[in-house]
Structure 1
């Protein structure tokens, strides 16, 4: 049994009814009291990323640390059916080489020039991403993590944070070199992939022609190996990262994060975290996002392993089955697909379907009455194959970035027989970049936790502030409601070069205003119920929260993507719906009378225009609206059905797959305007 520092188990028995308690004397008019908190002065807490790595190194030593599947063929593309691992010792030496090279090049002026010694990382998740980031953090530099899907918009983040060197994959190098005239401060590009002799010649000559030094990581590490120096001791208040928000409504904001902020978020997540000795975390969510960043730092702190996906989203399941991870941080978009596939395969007529439904019924009853999610008979007979889809060894599944339906969460709890936690940004289960993804956390085996994001994290104070415009107050019965605010040593101090947005986000007492409306239940758990942001007022005076409505409708298995549009001059809401192909094919076959296959794109496209199919789809959405408790003015009166999805590539999604409202409207402006031109639907009309 490995001895892991800094991990504190939950008490036995777990006191589910006391997950949050209001601190006496902290209540003020227009807000609840506060809960909290652990500080960096608490004994045995982590305070820097250097300490996080050292903690893992003490446990891991010569054990495997970072793994990947080697590419064994480019044409056709084929990956090895196994993972290759670098040990903790090997990673330690490589981060020392990279950190020493960075220190040397900044010292002699080759990479200097900005306010901070910033270093960019622009690549998808891979072992080198983590090694470079550890080198940056433990050698006194500041990382700027750039979403792999960013494209030409990379110019904004490089210029804003004055990045002089970028570690990147080979496919991004031509983009950077072409953009050199727009990023004049860029001095070096370090390729995370090995160069062939010909590639090296072409790219280095191109680089010199625009005054950029291009080299691969081996060459860069060799520079450091000749001038090795010890890691630079860090302090909790030392800046370590400028982490950009995803920018759903405006340009991304650079959140300034210190060693202490990230370390406190990690420390808070270690309370109750239980990974087996040979446990591994599956890494596929973008490391540029705080969700994955904190998850991997937690894994590092415990001395466990991180296995990276092959880089192809279509191989996620295959990667999982080979890695057999213990911790799977995921997002609703992926989990909903697995859920729908499992339900379609199991919920069939006859004896097999009856067994599947009985197994779900029995296990759900046990889960909701006792919190127990295992069953000797049904786990072996029914759920073994579902567990095998994600490797068969899961201990913890987390869902972040966006809400997910309670039924889906409960299904995974009983099907996978592991702890399943929901949230908005990280292991903490509710958080945002501005608080290092750390605010609240659900407790394991809580029988009634689904739909909540748990109680306050150990490192936070939280409170609710009245939102009069939406009729939410701290005096509401039976539960107080209001905008969720948090405070603690994991909270950012400011956005980089952005005083205006900083003042809007952080008040004079240091409280971060999340923009989410929450309620606190009788157990001290938080339930996110609405959004303060993205609220609009209809001409008849009602306020509508567009994101809340989208989340409600998106619970339908028939919906792949959905955008709700409102106009302050129009008394009703419209929706753009991208349907799930399997569900659309079934609806079209039923309505039209001819068999439509999910692979028949042409037939599905025609079905999207069929009035009967649209009417059937609206009926499904109406059921979700009723189930979600939407008021009449919050429901969609007309929809545009299309197979043209929102995407990062067309600028309608952020790199974390959140809809950019202005761009989404512009994409479908003609269709939306045409629907509005039809006039207000009658009381019985939905088309």
Structure 2
């Protein structure tokens, strides 16, 4: 089996008030450290460089919902267009009274507006605070108060939940902007609380009418605070600097390169793991760093397979629960087919697995089986 990590320094035993520490490891393909490109030290450096290098290539994509209520085909905006939207969003944030190193909450499912808001924060040295309501009814109110967020950008469908949280942060927010459709009752509740409310289009127009210069962050500046439930008590905020996120981006890139899975500009990543967690945040930053495109799911987890079928991604990141669903779905179809088809599938699976255990990648373990048996179950086609 391929060795993925190498030890840089041994662990140390506890001594007096100094706690025990385990060994220090690094990626085996990069034992001498991270090879960050010159001049790319922050998430803003990353996106700005890609917007210049890949200006006319697809960047961010989504599916618009048609009159019948069903999502249509994926449509993409280019790197140039995405960067311009981020400039407008960042300018609007500053015009509304936010100052560099203030915090801004983003509340909603992964989408173009989420990413543009985050990139707008990066451009103006604002600190992005993802919000999500799965931590409990009081979590939004707590996170807003604890992080001292000054502004929130949210999906229209989340405005009602956000409105309930405003009593606990009265006088703190400079405003709220929302994308998509929003219930009128929720809009009224937010304005009744004395909070300025803008639609996404109004926010962008405000930035276009009042352009501001970039306020680039440093590598040491805080990039994002991500809250997690922890084990007990209130959500815990994890502070990530720009330099820390960039180190994770480079580590992931070097790991994938070392495994023969190099991401290239012609690739497409399927975004459905929440941007409120650091894993998907780092994956998307890496994809944008390398000039590939990001296609966002339609916002409904029940349609994930339909979205994936429409997008046809070449890069896919998941968690065990997702892979278990895919695995069960494939086996169900195989078992229903039965007979020769099922026997052929299981034989090809065992043959390919044996070669992969010897160190061969999925692409080269059995090219014939990939073309004949697994052609409908492969997600990642290596470049």
TM-score bracket relative to the smaller structure: 0.7 to 0.9
Aligned to 2:358: 369
Aligned counterpart for 1:256 among listed residues 223, 230, 239: 239
Q: 1:275 to 1:207 in 2, by over 3 A?
A: same
1:97 to 61, 76, 88: 88
Q: Name the counterpart of 2:123.
A: 138
Distance 1:340 1:135, change over 3 A: same
Q: Relative to 1, partners in 2 of residues 1:38 and 1:243: Cα closer, same or farther, differing over 3 Å? A: farther
Q: How many pairs align?
A: 363
| Residue aligning to 1:480 | none
Distance of aligned partners of 1:148 and 1:96 in 2 relative to their CA distance in 1, 3 Å threshold: farther
Within 5 Å, which residues of 2 pair with 1:222-237? 222-237=205-220
Q: How does 1:216-227 map to 2 (within 5 A)?
A: 216-227=199-210
Matched, 1:119 2:104: yes
Please say if 1:51 is aligned against 2:29.
no
Question: Which residue number corresponds to residue 281 of structure 2?
Answer: 293
Runs of at least 5 residues in structure 1 that lack an aligned partner in the other structure: 1-14, 396-417, 420-687
Give TM-score scaled by structure 2 length.
0.86
CA contact (8 A) 1:203 1:214 kept: no
Are 1:147 and 2:166 an aligned pair?
Answer: no
Distance 2:354 2:340 in 1: 21
Confirm or deny: 8 A CA contact 2:52 2:80 kept in the other structure: no
- Looking at structure 2, the residues matched to 50 and 143 of structure 1 have their Cα atoms a distance apart, in angstroms, of 13
Structure 1 residues 194 and 361: CA distance shift in structure 2, 3 A: closer
Q: Which residue of 2 aligns with 1:654?
A: none
Say which SS state the counterpart of residue 383 (structure 1) adopts.
coil
Q: Within 5 A, what are the aligned runs for 1:670-685?
A: none
| Mapping of residues 480-495 of structure 1, within 5 Å | none
Structure with larger RCO (C-alpha < 8 A, sep 6+): 2
Select the structure that is richer in helix: 2
Pairing of 1:428-443 with structure 2 (within 5 A) = none
**C-alpha distance 247-22 of structure 1, shift in aligned 2 (>3 A):** closer
The DSSP-based 3-state class of the residue aligned with 2:77 is strand
3-state secondary structure, aligned to 1:86: strand
Partners of 2:202 and 2:37 lie apart in 1 by 42
Is the CA contact (8 Å cut-off) linking 1:279 and 1:325 kept in structure 2?
yes
Provide the rounded CA distance (Å) in 1 between the counterparts of 2:221 and 2:333: 52
Please give the root-mean-square deviation of Cα atoms over the aligned residues, in Å.
Answer: 2.7
Task: Spell out, residue by residue over 1:452-482, the C-alpha distance to the aligned partner (whole angstroms, 9 max, x if none).
Answer: xxxxxxxxxxxxxxxxxxxxxxxxxxxxxxx
Indicate yes or no: 2:59 matched with 1:71.
Answer: no
Structure 2 residue aligned with 1:407? none
Q: Are the structure 2 counterparts of residues 179 and 379 from structure 1 closer, same or farther at C-alpha, using a change threshold of 3 Å?
A: closer
Q: Which of 290, 315, 339 is the equivalent residue of 1:327?
A: 315
Contact 2:39 2:45 in 1 (8 A): no
Distance 1:208 1:250, change over 3 A: closer
Among candidates 146, 157, 169, match of residue 160 of structure 1: 146
SS at match of 2:375: helix
Asked whether the equivalents of residues 121 and 129 of structure 1 are also in contact (C-alpha less than 8 Å), the reply is yes
Counterpart in 2 of 1:450?
A: none
Alignment of 1:176-575 (within 5 A): 176-184=162-170, 185-193=172-180, 199=184, 205-271=188-254, 272=257, 274-347=262-335, 349-373=338-362, 374=364, 375-387=366-378, 390=379, 394-395=380-381
* Cα distance in 1, alignment partners of residues 35 and 310 from structure 2: 42
Per the TM alignment, residue 206 of structure 1 is displaced from its structure 2 partner at its CA by 4.1
Looking at structure 1, the residues matched to 312 and 368 of structure 2 have their Cα atoms a distance apart, in angstroms, of 23
